[in-house]
Amino acid sequence: MIHERAPYLQVSKTIMAIYEHSSNAHSHPVSISSSMIKTPLTGVDANTSFTLTFPSAQAILSTNINLTSPFGCIIRYEHGSIVVAPPIYCPKQFTVQYHDSAHKVVREETRTFDYVGGGWHFQADEVARCVRDGKRESEVWSHEKTLLEMEVLDRVRRDGDYVLPPGVEKVVS
């Protein structure tokens, strides 16, 4: 389960955890379902939940502007969980929990990161490397993954009847 205020971060973490996992073999979701509640005053998406079902796993994601969460992301596997502290775009800590056959936590390992800034410099550094090396596509985040991310977000917006302001999606050459 991934909970974060920015849905694109949720989708990118899902792509990293499931889409890129070797058991999934870069398969796209076989189904996407979602639900959205908009604020009556402005029509902004206040609460959105969506499920991405892949051939080998499922991601349940939620985002909202009116609740806080004690966790940023929980990735559950057969024998444990990874709990990532919020905000998920620059977590300062994550904990790996190992479960026994009754799904009880039998051991935990926590790693803490100490870096400067809000985490966005990692993306800027990758862009700078690509520009320096004359690359049109990042090896870290490919065009294929970007298109998948946008397909999911476009589907969630369509399901929620959420329309962006005029001109936002216009491509200018």
Structure confidence by residue, pLDDT tens digits, 137-149: 999 889 998 898 8
Q: How far is CA 39 from CA 66, 91, 133, 159, 165, in A?
A: 10, 29, 45, 16, 16
pLDDT at 83 over 60: yes
Residue 95: which of 114, 78, 69, 76 has the closest Cα? 76
pLDDT at 42 over 80: yes
Q: Which homologous superfamily is 2-159 in?
A: Dihydrodipicolinate Reductase; domain 2 (3.30.360.10)
In the chain, what percentage of residues exceed pLDDT 90? 27
pLDDT in tens, 88-111: 777 888 899 999 999 899 999 999
Look up the pTM and report it: 0.76
